[in-house]
A and B are shown apart, each in its own frame.
Chain A
Amino acid sequence: MKNVTNGLFSFARLGALLTKEFIQMRRDRITFAMMLGVPLMQLVLFGFAINSDPKSLPAALVATSNDPYTRAMVSALQNTNYYRFDHIAETAAEAEQLMASGEVAFVVTIPADFGRRVAAGEAPQILIEADATDPSASSGAVSTLGTVASKALLRAQGMEAASAEQAKGQLEVVVHRRYNPEGISQYNIVPGLLGVILQMTMVMMTSMALTRETERGTMENLLAMPASPAEIMLGKVLPYLVVGAVQVTVVLVASKLLFAIPFIGSLSLLLSAILVFVLALVLLGYTISTIARTQMQAMQLTFFFFLPSILLSGFMFPYRGMPGWAQALGEVLPLTHFLRIIRAVMLKGAEFPAIAVEVGVLGLFVALFAGLALFRFRRTLD
C-alpha cells in the first residue's frame, strides 16, 4: 500500500486539489450564488407555481334572458371554481373578440329560450366554447361540465316543479374546442418551442459578447479606440438577428411539414412580432454580458433566466393555473408575451389590434434592456 500513496494516488495530493477547487468556487461569487439559487428557484417554482389543473379561468357569458334557470346555471358553473365570469358579452361577435385576444378562456352561451324550454319540458341546450390552443388547460373545466350543469338544472327544477324525473338527461351541453378541435397538444407546444429555442440561443450567444472580449484581453484595445457604447452594442447584437432569422425559418417550415401545425393568421404580422422579440432577447443577452465577468458566469446567468422562462411563461404549464405572484413573475418575462402572440396569430388568426398590447410590452423590454445595457456598459476600465 505504501507504493500506492507514493505513486498513482495520494490523499495528500487529492487534498491539495480539493482545497484549490473549493477556494476557486468561493471566489467566483456568481457561481456560488447559482449553486444555491438554482435549486431553490426550481423547488419554489415547481412546488408552488405549477398547477396543471387550473381553476378560476376567465370566462365570458352570453346570456340574453334573465330567468331563474339561467341564473341557476351560471351560479352552478361559477361554483365549480373552474369558471370566473368576468365578462358579460352582449353579442356572440363580442365574445368571439374576447376569446381571440385571449382575455377569456371560455365563452358560455345560454340561449334566450333556455328558461322557456326548461319550463316547457323540452331539452334545453347550452354552448360552451373553450380556447383549446392549450388543450390541457381547459380539459378539467370541460370534463366536469356535463354533470355539474345537469345537477344544477335538477336542483333549480326541484324547487320550481318538485319533480326530478322531468329534467333527467334532458340538458344538452354542446362543447366546442375552438382553434384546436381535436385537442392536439402539439398545436400548443410547437409554436411555443420557437419562442423557447430563440430565447435559449439568442440570449446565450449574446451573453458572451463582451465577456469574450474581456477574457481574451481585446476589450482594453476596443475601448482605447474611438467606438461609442451604442456602436459596440449594435455591432455585437445585430449579427444575431441573422442567426435568429435562420432559426425562425427552420422552425416555421418544420412545424408545417413535420407537425402540420395550422397557420391561420398573417405571416408578416408574426415575423414583425418575432423581430421585436428577438431584439429584446439579444439585448437581454448583451445586458448579461455587461454584468458577467467570465463566459462561465454569462452561461449561468443565461440559465438562471431561462428556467423561469420555461416554467412560468405558460410554455410548459398553463399560465392561468399559477398563483398570482407567479403570474406576476411571468409577466416580466419576454417569452410569456411572445407565446401569447404566436399562439394568437398562428392558431387563432389574430390581427394586430388583438396582440398590440403584447407587442407593446415586448417593445418596452427592448427599450429597457437597451437602456440598461448602455447604462451598465463601462466606457473605461474603472
Chain B
Amino acid sequence: MNAIEVTNLVKRFGDKTVVDHVTMTVAEGEIVGFLGPNGSGKTTTIRIMCGLLTPDEGEGQVLGHDLRTDGLKIKREVGYMTQKFSFYEDLTIGENLEFVARLYKLRPVEEHVARTLDELGLTSRRDQLAGTLSGGWKQRLALAACIMHKPKLLLLDEPTAGVDPKARREFWDEIHRLARGGLTVLVSTHYMDEAERCHRISYISYGKMLASGTVAEVVRNAGLTTFVVSGPRLDQIAEALEGRPGVEQVAPFGATLHVVGSDRNKLEAALADIRGRKDVTVEPGETSLEDVFIQFMAGSRDNMS
C-alpha cells in the first residue's frame, strides 16, 4: 500500500488555482522531497493531505483513508509540522508535549512525554518556556511533538527554514533514522542539499507538478547541457553570453561560469567564439539539480501576479 496516493487534486482560492491537478504517489517508508518556488502550492498540497483543506477536485487516499471523508482518521495517524512554529510559546516544552500527548490520548502521558524528550535530547530543557527557545530548538520541539504519537506519515512543511547548518544536519539524520523505522516522510524544502538527501523528489511550480523521480532521474529527464567556463573577467563573458540563442542560463559558480541550455548544438555554437580565446577554457560540465530547477522556474508562467 502507498502512504500517499492522490490524483488530480485541485484547490482554488478565489479565481487563483493554487493546486492544479496534482497527482502524487509516495510509497511506504520513502522520504520524498517536495520542491518548488515560493507560492507554488507546496503548503496547500500538504494541508490537503493532512485534512486541513478540502480539495475542490480530485481524490486520494492517505494511509488508506479517504481524503474527503476520513479526515479525523488521517489526523490521528499523520504528524504535521507547520512551516511557522505553532506551539504555545507561553507553555514550557514539557507542558506543550503533555498537551499534545493528551489530545492524541496517549497513555500514560508522562511516559510518552519522557520518552519523546529523551529521544530528541530535550530532557534538560523540559521546563523552559517554548517562546524563549532559539530557532533550532523550536524546530526540535515541533518535530518531537509531531512524532510522539508514532505517526505512520510525517508531513514537514519547510522544517529547516531559519535553522543553522549543524541543526539542519542533525534534523536530517533524525528523519533518516525515523524512515528506517518504517515512517514515510514528505518534506518540502528550498535547499538543494536537502533535496539530495531524499529518496525521491517532486517538483511543483505554480500548482502544477513538473517532475518526479530520483535526483538523477530528474536531472537526466530535464535534458540540459552544461558547460563550465573559467578564465579572467567572467562578468564580461557572462554579459556577452546572455541572450545568445541557445543560452538559457548563465550563472557564476565560484570562480567559474555555468552556461546551460537545452539544445546542445545551439549552445556549442553560442560558445564558439569564447572557446576560441586563449585565456578562457570551456569544458562540458555536470548539470546540477539547481540548474534544472532554475530552468523549470524560468519555463513556468507566474499565475500569482
Contacts and interface: CB of A to CB of B under 8 A. Distances in A.
B72 A220 contact: no
Given A380-B52, A381-B52, A381-B53, A225 B82 contact: no
A380 to B, nearest CB: 5
Interface in B113-163: none
Given A217-B84, A381-B47, A224 B53 contact: no
A149 B75 CA distance: 77
A220 B103 contact: no
Interface in A220-255: 220-221, 223-228
A182 interface: no
B89 A224 contact: no
Contacts of B86: 216-221
Contacts of B78: 224
B296 interface: no
Given A224-B75, A225-B100, A226-B104, A380 B82 contact: no
A382 interface: yes
A216 B82 contact: no
B50 A218 contact: no
Interface in B78-120: 78, 80, 82, 84-89, 100, 103-104
Contacts of A220: 52, 82, 84, 86
Contacts, number: 48
B54 A226 contact: no
B89 A216 contact: yes
Contacts of A224: 50-52, 75, 78, 80, 82
A382 B54 contact: yes
Nearest to B85: A217
Interface residues on A, range: 10 to 19
Contact of A226 (B52, B72, B84): B72
Nearest to A221: B86
B92 to A, nearest CB: 15
Nearest to A225: B103
Q: Which of B71, B72, B82, B86 has the most CB of A within 10 A?
A: B86
B54 A380 contact: yes
B21 interface: no
B72 to A, nearest CB: 6
Contacts of A381: 47, 52-53
B76 interface: yes
Contacts of B54: 380, 382
Nearest to B145: A221
A30 B50 CA distance: 32
A379 B74 CA distance: 14
B202 to A, nearest CB: 21
Interface in A196-226: 216-221, 223-226
Nearest to A379: B71
Contacts of A223: 52
Contacts of B76: 226
B54 to A, nearest CB: 6
Contacts of B51: 224, 380
A225 B54 CA distance: 16
Nearest to B155: A224
A61 B46 CA distance: 73
Nearest to B11: A382
A13 B130 CA distance: 39
B193 to A, nearest CB: 27
A225 B53 contact: no
B75 A225 contact: yes
Contacts of B50: 224
A219 B72 CA distance: 16
B112 to A, nearest CB: 14
16 contacts: A217-B85, A220-B82, A220-B84, A221-B80, A221-B86, A224-B78, A226-B72, A226-B75, A228-B72, A379-B71, A380-B52, A380-B54, A381-B47, A381-B53, A382-B53, A382-B54
Interface of B: 47, 50-54, 71-72, 75-76, 78, 80, 82, 84-89, 100, 103-104
Given A220-B84, A381-B53, 6 more contacts: A216-B89, A218-B86, A220-B52, A220-B86, A221-B82, A382-B54
